[in-house]
Amino acid sequence: MLDFPEDTKNEPKCLVTHGTMGHVNPKEPPIKRKPFSAILSHPFVSKVDLVLPEEVYEIVKNDLIKSLEPRWPVFSRVILPLSVLLEGDFFNEYIKRGNILMLSEGNMGVDNVYKLRDGILTLHLEKEKYERAGLVGKPDGLKGKRGTKPRWVVEINLRLPSMLHGKKGFDRIVYAFKNVLTAPVTWLFHDLATTATTPDPLDIHFPTKKTVSPVVSQNIRASIPPLKPTADKDSKYDADFEDYAVELHEWLSLILLDSPRVKVGDKIDPFLSRYALPADSVASGGLVKLTWQGFIAPSWAHETFALILPHIPRDSWFAYCVGGFADGWSGETRASTILKLPDTPNEYVLWGIV
């Protein structure tokens, strides 16, 4: 873990791991060991980026796209009140029997935001709505922070046997949704089932369906610093590795942003930008970036990473970056960046923003 001043304990942290993946079966990828577990730790995924050398992409693109194309994620945008989640076929097919992901509109820490994952409905509520709803929750975020209003979070496991109409606790939730939290909101909806439900309970609400296909950015002429760490993965990490981790993560972030600062031949007045490449000796080369952006299941990002691995030559490198949705009013997000190192079969560096 990188060192941070003590007064930043409530701010996002960057955890860095340098290790070896070992054997990976694309049909049954690991779920408990890094870097695979880092991908699955995201509750929702909004963006996935794959960065690799241009010459490697030209070799693997046909087989890679052919294997991934049948799996493009599909999600829906739909307007629903909370009460619909507890009614009829939607409740029985999607929540009790099925498995769906849902995320409402709104900014965390500012608006009332609702999430549904693994059958657990999470409500992030302002104090007035929370008190009127009469639901049991706990304080949300830091207490006593100047300039912020108290907020509350309520978690409801809708898969419990007691979550049925006629049960006292469940009827209290239904009452709150029909009398207090009544405003229809825009949701992002993703069905994790491998087979579609027929008839689809969502169709009567007129959803807008979207397929997440990749946007391919080619002809990225970039200055590429040395990608391998200065310390062996079995030795004691020191300041050199910390510098490597910070500087290379910054370089990868600029690649994802299409920043001109990492382009070949970039010249800018240092008064306007103090960024410098992390090494005196850098190579130049072409890069290709594939970007999937939408409402994506963490399981899709996890399985896709495992499918990409066998397509990339063992001595080549690539970066796989997974980003989530904003978790707070300031817009910070969880993110995982995996760099498969060059000239090694399965060695990687993982940056996790938590």
Q: Inter-axis angle of helices 54-68 and 298-308, to 10 degrees?
A: 120
pTM of this prediction?
0.90
Residue 1 belongs to a domain: no
Write phi, then psi, for 301 (nearest 5 degrees). -60, -35
CA 340/CA 314 separation, integer angstroms = 9
Residue 172 belongs to a domain: yes
Instruction: Indicate if 307 and 225 belong to the same structural domain.
Output: yes
SS3 308: helix
Tokens (6 digits) for 235: 């030795």
Instruction: Indicate if 252 and 329 belong to the same structural domain.
Output: yes
Q: Which of 178, 211, 244 is the last residue of a domain?
A: 211
Instruction: Indicate if 228 and 317 belong to the same structural domain.
Output: yes
Instruction: Indicate if 177 and 228 belong to the same structural domain.
Output: no
What residue type is assigned to position 123 of the chain? L
String of DSSP letters for 75-132:
EEEEEE-GGGGGSHHIIIIIIIIS-EEEEESS-TTTS-EEEEETTEEEEEEEHHHHHH
Instruction: Indicate if 227 and 306 belong to the same structural domain.
Output: yes
Instruction: Indicate if 81 and 153 belong to the same structural domain.
Output: yes
Instruction: Indicate if 38 and 130 belong to the same structural domain.
Output: no
**How much of the chain, in percent, has pLDDT values that exceed 70?**
91
Summarised one tens digit per residue, pLDDT across range 180-235 is: 999 999 999 999 987 877 889 999 999 999 999 999 999 899 999 999 887 555 55
Tokens (6 digits) for 218: 């080619």
Residue 36 belongs to a domain: yes
Summarised one tens digit per residue, pLDDT across range 139-154 is: 986 654 555 678 899 9
Instruction: Indicate if 207 and 217 belong to the same structural domain.
Output: no
CA 320/CA 214 separation, integer angstroms = 14
Q: Which of 180, 211, 242 is the last residue of a domain?
A: 211
Q: Is 255 within 8 Å of 265 (Cβ atoms)?
A: no
Rounded to a whole number of angstroms, the CA Rg of the chain reads 23
In terms of residue numbers, what domain contains 236?
Answer: 6-73+213-353
Domain count, the chain: 2
Q: Is 36 within 8 Å of 283 (Cβ atoms)?
A: no
Summarised one tens digit per residue, pLDDT across range 263-309 is: 998 888 888 988 888 877 788 999 999 999 999 999 999 999 999 99
Instruction: Indicate if 118 and 62 belong to the same structural domain.
Output: no
Instruction: Indicate if 79 and 198 belong to the same structural domain.
Output: yes
Residue 176 belongs to a domain: yes
Residue 16 belongs to a domain: yes
Name the residue with higher pLDDT: 285 or 3: 285
Question: Which residues make beta-bridge pairs with 101?
Answer: 190
Instruction: Indicate if 132 and 56 belong to the same structural domain.
Output: no
Residue 41 belongs to a domain: yes
**Per-residue pLDDT band at 179 (split at 50, 70, 90):** very high
Residue 304 belongs to a domain: yes
Summarised one tens digit per residue, pLDDT across range 232-256 is: 555 556 788 888 999 999 999 999 9
Q: Which of 211, 237, 261 is the last residue of a domain?
A: 211
Instruction: Indicate if 233 and 201 belong to the same structural domain.
Output: no
